Amino acid sequence: MDFIKLREKLLANPAGRLLLSFAAFIYGLGVKLVLFSYKKGWRAVKAVNSRVVCIGNITAGGTGKTTAVLLCASKLSKAGVRTAVVSRGYKRSAKKDEVVVLFDKDLLNWRESGDEPYMMSQLLADDKVPVVVSSDRYAAASQAVKEFRSQVILLDDGMQHHRLKRDANVVLVDAVNPFGGEELLPLGTLREPMTALKRASLVVITHSDLVSAREREEIKDTVRLINDEIEIIEAVHKPDYYFDVTTKTKLALKDLKGDAVAFSAIGDHSSFEQTLRNLGLNLKQTWRFPDHGTYDMEQMETFASSRGGLPLITTFKDYVKFPEGWQDVIKDKLYILAINMQILNGEENKLMEILYPGISKKK
């Protein structure tokens, strides 16, 4: 039983809810103690010779963080700003504090860096943006500055990391579930109290097209009760194209319709599957695996034998974890849905100015 199902089961009865409340209380004490230790100087905050911008959230779950990092890194690079991404590297095989540098499409196996950093490095290869991985974010950032003379370090999912000094915090808030029930983990999905929004330089409301205008305004009002000077912008996640893995070509969204099957090992399966349906696909079967899950040849054979000749669709995050030799099993009709984040209302400049002040004037 995964965490989400267990949590739902416990929430369904008074005793279970009491247990979750107690666990959330203990978790909250730990969060406050960590913050207090940095505030008092008991733990050192270390700086690097680069602008550091955190792109993170205060809730667990799918706020669209990875697509936000990709958007920011690509935009900065295209503007001529030397940029690097620093990531923790969740569930990687290398030692947590070992620094791994991804700057070549074929440099490493994804297991050494973790699936998300590896995926980001693949997608940012044409922009020449390195992804540097370590649980020691200061060591990773230092390596980025030393090796690539990075002018901006994008700290991936670093809102709850305090050792590396940052110049700005971009906080993503999911419009569908903005504040995690306003309860800390595991009772709710807040990773830290909502007062953390005081540390935000900019709030981005993601998936804003999935709620009403009134709900978006309510989210903004809640944020401004905590940080009344904060800039708030809205964003959506839009499908961009299908990537045909076997032919290495892009396919327009309109070119793939009708029956299909899909599989994913991500944080929000339902959103991925609903997106495919919205694009005109009739999903005859779906396979769901735990977030960051890996694949083996037996699973590849299951996909191939059970799809009935239909198109098989997955995500970039899943694709990088395919086992060696998968091409011998799945020979055609394998597609990746590419998703991009778009800033609404012509306010992309507000994000860019947080990332690199004065960039709008940069030629």
Kindly report, residue by residue over 163-184, the tens digit of the pLDDT. Answer: 999 999 999 999 999 999 999 9
- Taking the domains of the chain in order of start, what are their residue ranges? 3-39, 51-237+342-361, 247-332
- Per-residue pLDDT at 305 exceeds 90: yes
Q: Answer whether residue 90 shows pLDDT above 80.
A: no
Q: What angle do CA 164, 167, 172 make, to 5 degrees?
A: 90
Write down the CATH number for the domain with range 51-237+342-361.
3.40.50.300
Q: Minimal CA–CA distance to 84: which of 156, 164, 160, 172?
A: 156
Using CA atoms, how far apart are residues 213 and 100, in angstroms rounded to an integer?
A: 43
Q: For a pLDDT cut of 70, what percent of the chain falls above it?
A: 97
Token couple for 209: 């097209």
Where in the chain does DSSP place strands (E)?
A: 51-57, 83-87, 100-102, 131-133, 152-156, 168-174, 202-206, 231-244, 249-251, 258-264, 281-288, 312-314, 334-343
Instruction: Tell me what pLDDT residue 108 has.
Output: 60
**Gyration radius of the chain over CA positions:** 21
Cα separation, 67 vs 64, whole angstroms = 6
> pLDDT of 42-56, one tens digit each?
999 999 999 999 999
